[in-house]
Amino acid sequence: MQDTHIIDRVSEEHLWNQVFTRQTGADFFYAVSTMGVYCRPGCPSPRPLRKNTRFFRSPTEAEAAGFRACKRCDPKGERARIAQDVVRDASAFIEASDEVPSLDVLAKRSGYSRFHFLRMFRNHTGLTPRAYADAIRARRLHASLANGNRVIDAVADAGFGSESRVYENTATLLGMTPGAARRGGQGERIRTAFADCPFGRLLVGATAKGVCFIGFAEPDEALMADLRRRFPQAAISTDDAALAGTVGAVLDFLREPRQALDLPLDLRGTAFQQRVWRTLCTIPPGETRSYAQLAAMAGNPKAVRAVARSCATNPVSLAVPCHRVVGSDGGLTGYRWGVPRKQALLEHERALSAGPKPQV
């Protein structure tokens, strides 16, 4: 049996209040009789008069009553779906191209003007096509260097015109020098320690600078393989005694979460990734933020996809609490260690914030 719709449960005055305050995510639509259009409650159009406002459960109901979809808020999501398809096609075309396609070529391919295409691409990726192409080449460069290829060869394979471009922008592209990326941890020692935690096995890895990896909820072999993939050339050794305090801090955090784990960290990523990871640490336990909110907090409201990728590549789960980021509708989106664990972490944090202290 389906749940009763919101319109059946609350008064029209309550619905009107959501329209007046432009609430996003509300489960109804409103129409303006004098304009002949219907909208989402969060529509940025000028507010209608209350006497001219009607409420509907769905676009189908509104259209049956003779109203057409608003072009500003796109209540049926049709324009948004078209834009997503255009951006998805352009992104695939950029990725498959040896050279960075010009804006004119991309716009012509999309069937839109240069200005309209650029705006669509920025709105959906948070980047210009040029910046998106640079991000792809940076990823290829990092992968090539991690495989041990010479810097000059990796630069050429990734599609950069010269080494000077890479060295001028190492912080943005790699978060480290090309030589360090190529070495993949060569010459470094990573100490590791396993432990049992409420979600199964836990692996902590640390360099001389600080914790560089925290993984959990997988078999020992899988956790170690993940660490080796990130540092393929490093000397990895077990050192339970040296990491006893660090492992204890992680276990304490699981029992009673805080805003962030107070541990020295060795985080390696681009300048943008570093900013996102630092911002994640400001989210209080028991609270969540959407990817869009996190992007705004990190100083780039349009970079929602880039923020999501930064969360997905977070090497120190728990210490950098990416489990506190959710979808725009509040839904639990993908999590490296499994959505059920993400839900359990959030529920545990909320329970502790509310007062009782159940175990995870």
**Helical H runs in the chain?**
6-9, 12-20, 59-64, 78-96, 103-110, 114-125, 129-146, 151-158, 163-168, 170-173, 178-183, 220-230, 244-255, 271-280, 291-297, 304-312, 339-354
For this structure, is 39 an active site residue? yes
Pairwise CA distance, residues 318 & 316, whole Å: 6
Catalytic residue, chosen from 43, 212, 311, 322, is 322
- Cβ–Cβ under 8 Å, residues 168 and 138: no
In which residue are the tokens 């640079």 written? 134
Pairwise CA distance, residues 339 & 323, whole Å: 9
- Cβ–Cβ under 8 Å, residues 217 and 199: yes
* Rounded (10°) angle between helices 103-110 and 129-146: 110
For this structure, is 322 an active site residue? yes
What is the β-pairing status of strands 211-216 and 200-206?
Answer: antiparallel
Q: Is the dihedral of CA 16, 19, 25, 31 positive or negative?
A: positive
Catalytic center residues: 39, 322
